[in-house]
Amino acid sequence: MPNPASGGTNPLLDGLRIEPTPEPTALVIFGASGDLTRRKLLPALYQLSRGQRLPARFSVVGVARSPMSDEAFRQQFHDSLKEFAGLAQPDEISSALAQEMRYVQGEMDDPALYQKLGSVLKEAGSPEGVLFYLAIPPSVYGPVAEHLGKAGLVSEDHGWRRIIVEKPFGTDLASARALNHLLHKHLNESQIFRIDHYLGKETVQNLLVFRFANGMFEPVWNRRYIDHVQITAAETVGVERRASYYEGAGALRDMVQNHLMQVLALVAMEPPIAFSAENVRDRKLDALMSIQPVVGPDAQNGTANVVRAQYAAGWVNGEEVPGYRHEEGVNPESATETFVALRMFLDSWRWAGVPFYVRTGKRLPKRTTEIAIQFRRPPLHIFKKISPTAVASNLLIVNVQPDEGISLRFEAKLPGSRMQLAPVMMNFRYGSAFGRAVPEAYETLLLDAMLGDATLFARHDFVEASWALITPIHEAWAAAGGKDVASYEAGEWGPEQADAMLAADGRRWRTL
């Protein structure tokens, strides 16, 4: 134990039942008056404060174009807790946190804003760490990074300086590369935290524990035992108020390039040699780099590996909903996909010949995200002459949302004198096994960024590798001019072309 008089490591932190807390930090939120800040960031800060995960000296500086006083920003904080954290009245925790909040108004491309920001950080006691959160449109990332660099605000001469960048990180390979290049002009890669809130989800993190802390699964986690993998991210909602963004993005950019590629990489990666940010991210990158081109001359099955579609009018959750092209703000001739299904193969010893099917869409019957690992059937069905039922494959399902957990399906004998088989499911649910509230993804990720742990953040090369895979699909679609956009009725599980893609392989999508 260090001598407490030396002023070294805090001797009272040893053995505390709280998790590590960051060094004194100022969090600077660009886009402080925006939706993300109100819905996610401010409630996450409150929950972190309640759980004593914030450092002794912690302050928040909100930055945005809207004129607002410090007091009004604090009121916005209380309002957001009322709306999104269920805190009807400010309590002592929220009031104490609010006291440490300041607001700076200005245009993102105005150098004076950054001078002002520098002064406010000085007034806040020049904390050891400053975390800049870019909750702003991607078009402004560049100018903000540029000005932060020019104003010396990201220089690490007097403590760490980090920046969190929200998705979308580019719109194609070229723009992602340009953005990385621009950020790297002013920041080291170790200072850049590209956030993907899927990686903050407990079950997604648990994939690493499940695979690499259980000796029984890893030996069968390969082409010899696994028939195929299905990853589904289904939403019941339509485009809501995001039509202007969604029209330019579509399901492939919005969900697959980031979230689902991260999930796929966690499923497919080789074991890292240690649980460290660089080791984990290296192995994830390897997995991504091994994915064969999905379209083009080098792709297996040509363009048949991708299906895109739009929802037509239909019924979801008992409500009649309009088709995508009739949504407010959507071009009536739009070719933007609201559903996409992909078949991918990995060039690796572990996964050669094992298809990874990925689908995501809006206005599907159920809100659910899951990873389903379907194992091969036993090589010999010894019961086929006496059991009237076929043997179902073993299935491992990782539920990412809404009920985070893991289920395993296996065959059992139905009770009785007759030999009859039936599948049964063993279920593990986070919500009912450990009894602890699962932290919100933004709580986990904000804290990790303050602690400097980049394991759950995307590295520049992963982002670029993902775009390298996705961009040719967009190019192929652009060349097709919208002729291949299929249609599905809202409330159904996507178009028949997606079913046909699996049927051609003798498989079918899981019924969810």
Stretch of 54-62, 76-84, 112-120, 211-219 lying at the interface with another protein (CB under 8 A):
54-62
The rounded distance, in Å, linking the Cα atoms of 250 and 254 is 6
Distances (CA, A) of 460 to 148, 170, 467, 472, 511: 20, 11, 11, 19, 36
Rounded to the nearest whole angstrom, what is the least distance from the CB of residue 96 to another protein in the complex? 4
Tell me if 467 sits within 8 A of 180, measured CB to CB. Answer: no
Q: Which is nearer to another protein, 4 or 302 (CB)?
A: 4
Closest CA to 452 of 249, 127, 159, 219: 159
DSSP bridge pairs for 359: 232, 341
Task: Say whether residue 435 binds another protein (CB under 8 A).
Answer: yes
Quote the CA–CA distance of 208 and 402 in Å, as a whole number: 19
51-59, 109-117, 152-160, 445-453 -> range binding another protein (CB under 8 A) = 51-59
State the helix-helix crossing angle for 261-268 and 277-289, rounded to 10 degrees: 100
Shortest Å, Cβ 108 to another protein: 29
**Residue 395 Cβ, how far from another protein at the closest point, in Å?**
15
Min separation Cβ 438 and another protein, Å: 11
Cis peptide before 439 (omega within 30 of 0): no
The answer to whether residue 96 forms part of the interface with another protein (CB under 8 A) is yes
Q: Considering the rule CB under 8 A, would residue 7 count as an interface residue with another protein?
A: yes
Binding mask 314-353 for another protein (x = CB under 8 A): ---xx-----------------------------------
Catalytic residue among 147, 186, 259, 460: 259
Q: Per CB under 8 A, which region of 29-37, 90-98, 249-257, 272-280 contacts another protein?
A: 90-98
Q: Is 259 in the active site?
A: yes
Backbone angles phi, psi at 57, to 5 degrees: -110, 110
Contact 197, 454 (CB under 8 A): no
Instruction: Supply the minimum distance, in Å, between the C-beta of residue 348 and another protein.
Output: 32
4 in contact with another protein (CB under 8 A): yes
| Whether 509 contacts 357, CB under 8 Å | yes
- The sign of the CA dihedral 22, 28, 31, 32 is positive
Q: Does 389 bind another protein (CB under 8 A)?
A: no
**Residues taking part in catalysis:** 259
Residues that bind another protein (CB under 8 A): 1, 3-8, 10-18, 21, 24, 50, 52, 55-57, 91-93, 95-96, 100, 125, 317-318, 403, 426-429, 431-436
